[in-house]
Amino acid sequence: MIIDAHTHIFSPAVIADRSRYTARDPFFDYLYSNPKARLVGAAELIAALDADGIDRAVIAGWAWQAQAMCVEQNTWLMQVARQYPTRVIALATVQPNAGDAAIRELRRCVEGGMIGLGEMNADGQGFDLTGENFMNLARAAVELRAPILLHTNEPVGHVYPGKGKLPLADIYALIKQLPALRLVLAHWGGGLPFYELMPEVRAAAQNVFYDTAASPLLYAPQIFRAVADLVGARKILFGTDFPLITYPKRQTEPGSALFLADVRAAGFTPAELAQILGANAQAVFHR
Ligand SMILES: [Zn+2]
């Protein structure tokens, strides 16, 4: 079972009328006002999974700032999940600052068959990861046994659109307070795996996982083996950030074949590879 644990798709409404949505959401505008920034729908994702030999995808939409736009998208993603029950695992987004309305929406989505939240984005959506609103939402997620996929950034290195400033210290504060929360930190957790060599961080991070999304744009391929040595293969989830072009020099169309080949060539044992490519995602993204 191969699972891409990090993909983004958009509804026909967003794809057909992108400017209506860029006008309503500054962060979406920042990343998608350029018509070259790809928006793909559900059918295109399924076709790409078929072409690349990937069984399932965790589908995240977009972390909208407005709660109403999250709700609109969640409703559509629930339909997609019903349409492709064996191919997709759907995540909802909410605006934590909406307070009780965000928690009610999480509950509605979970009852509607969605698995958890993601990709949540503290910088993009403008919420405080350690503030009361997000903490209440995260507590509700624990209660519902719903995992959260969180966008994370490297605190150093090159700047790119969408690179935020969410401090690793905030993530540590969150997991210390709520160690039961199943948390997937995107993009290798911005370097947090290194700090898991500190016993107290390791202890707090028992339910923290790391995905590989966009890795070829960020890190040398040695990162795969290095993180497995730091935190263990059981904590790594293969994820691409599809339809992001992750190999701009070798790729013109979205697809994950090159990424998959790099993971397979990263020096994992067959057992580790099975965990990273699918078993870990199956264990994390369930309720
Ligand atoms: Zn991300």
How do residues 251-262 score in pLDDT, each as one tens digit? 999 999 999 999
pLDDT given at position 18: 95
Please say if the pLDDT value at position 41 is more than 90: yes
Q: Residue 162: what pLDDT?
A: 81
Contacts of 179 (CB under 8 A, 6+ apart): 203, 204, 206, 207
Distance 121 CA to ligand 1 centre (A): 8
How many angstroms is it from 203 CA to the middle of ligand 1?
25
Distance between alpha carbon 124 and the CA centroid of its chain, in Å?
14
Distance CA 22, CA 39 (A): 12
Mean pLDDT of 105-117: 98
**Distance between Cα 59 and ligand 1 center (Å):** 12
pLDDT given for residue 123 in this prediction: 95
- pLDDT higher than threshold 90 for residue 240: yes
Distance 93 CA to ligand 1 centre (A): 13
Of the candidates 189, 197, 194, 187, the residue with the CA atom closest to the CA atom of residue 246? 187
Query: Hey, what domains does the chain have and what are their CATH numbers?
Result: 3-284 (3.20.20.140)
Residue 163 in tokens: 């690179």
Ligand 1 centroid from CA 187, angstroms: 7
Whether the per-residue pLDDT at 138 is higher than 90: the answer is yes
User: Strand, helix or coil at 153?
Assistant: coil
Distance in Å, CA 204 to ligand 1 centroid: 23
239 alpha carbon to ligand 1 midpoint, in Å? 10
Adjacency order of strands within the sheet including 148-150: 3-8, 56-60, 88-92, 116-120, 148-150, 183-185, 208-211, 236-237
Q: How far away, in angstroms, is 163 Cα from ligand 1 center?
A: 9
Distance 100 CA to ligand 1 centre (A): 25
Q: Please give the distance, rounded to the nearest whole angstrom, from the Cα atom of residue 153 to the centre of ligand 1.
A: 8
User: Ligand 1 centroid to 119 CA: how many Å?
Assistant: 7
| Tens-place pLDDT, residues 154-188 | 988 988 888 888 999 999 999 999 999 999 999 99
